[in-house]
Amino acid sequence: MVDQSSDVSHQAMGYDRTSIMFSPDGRLLQVEYAKKTVKQGTTAVGIVCKDGVLLVADKRVVDKLIVSKSIEKVFQVDEHIGATASGILSDGRVLIEKAQVIAQQHRVTYDEPIEPETLVKEISNLKQQFTQYGGARPFGVSLLFIGVDDKPSLFVTDPTGIFFEYKATAIGEFDTEVKDLLDKQYRDGINVQDGLKLGVGALKKVLGKDFSVDRLDGAVIYTDEKQFKRLKKEDFLKIKW
């Protein structure tokens, strides 16, 4: 558990005024604040299945006058790669647009699609750089990447620039609760339809009375097709909980 009194003293000493200053106990406080920002973002779930990989995200429509279709939470990066973000979505948009450029440059240079892990490393390296530059703040966003190369894969990169590959995971405000559900219910060999049911069911449970299909955004990439496919409202309505 983080000592709050220690946090206050570190702030008073000015260790949180820049992302490049270590506190006496070896912490970069601005980077830790960026990770807390992610916890305030909307929840997104990624699940690897035997026949593909999928993303399901909460769009959190905060104003009833907003057209829900105008809120995009899941993005296509390349034909075989998709991503979603949690935290400061404007930061996420910038990073995802950078990922799109990297993927296209790789196709032009090598005449083949980029490997998802290679792309994730590039974005993670960029995020890490912003933890050690003076005059710049860390990116306040975590990204979930899905992709299919020789197999379906799911990666998470956080504000520190660290990335991990997962079978199933979540980011955002209810990530702990969703991860607990995934730990109990996820199994190897699950298919996309059951994976979608698991992901949407997890969001339904943590959102409670605020849950609505109109709040959902999602995408799936099947292993045999290697094509990013955005999920529509009808796809969510077919699910029986």
Q: Are 203 and 211 in contact (CB under 8 A)?
A: yes
Class of domain 29-235: alpha beta
| Spans of the chain below 70 pLDDT | 1-13, 241
Q: Are 136 and 19 in contact (CB under 8 A)?
A: yes
The CB density around residue 234, as the number of other CB atoms within 10 Å, is 8
CA 202 to CA 57: how far, in whole Å? 11
User: HSE on the CB side for 53, CA within 13 Å?
Assistant: 29
CA 118 to CA 78: how far, in whole Å? 13
pLDDT at 241: 62
pLDDT at 5: 57
DSSP string, 118-168: HHHHHHHHHHHHTTS-TT-PPP-EEEEEEEESSSEEEEEE-TTS-EEEESE
Number of continuous H segments (helices) and E segments (strands) in the chain: 7, 10
Tokens 């710049």 identify what position? 136
CA 142 to CA 62: how far, in whole Å? 21
Tokens 């069911």 identify what position? 201
Please give the angle made by the CA atoms of 187, 191 and 196, to the nearest 5 degrees: 90
Closest CA to 179 of 166, 191, 187, 169: 169
Domain positions in the chain are 29-235
Compute φ and ψ for 191, nearest 5 degrees.
-95, 170
Q: Are 185 and 18 in contact (CB under 8 A)?
A: no
pLDDT at 12: 46
Q: Are 224 and 51 in contact (CB under 8 A)?
A: yes
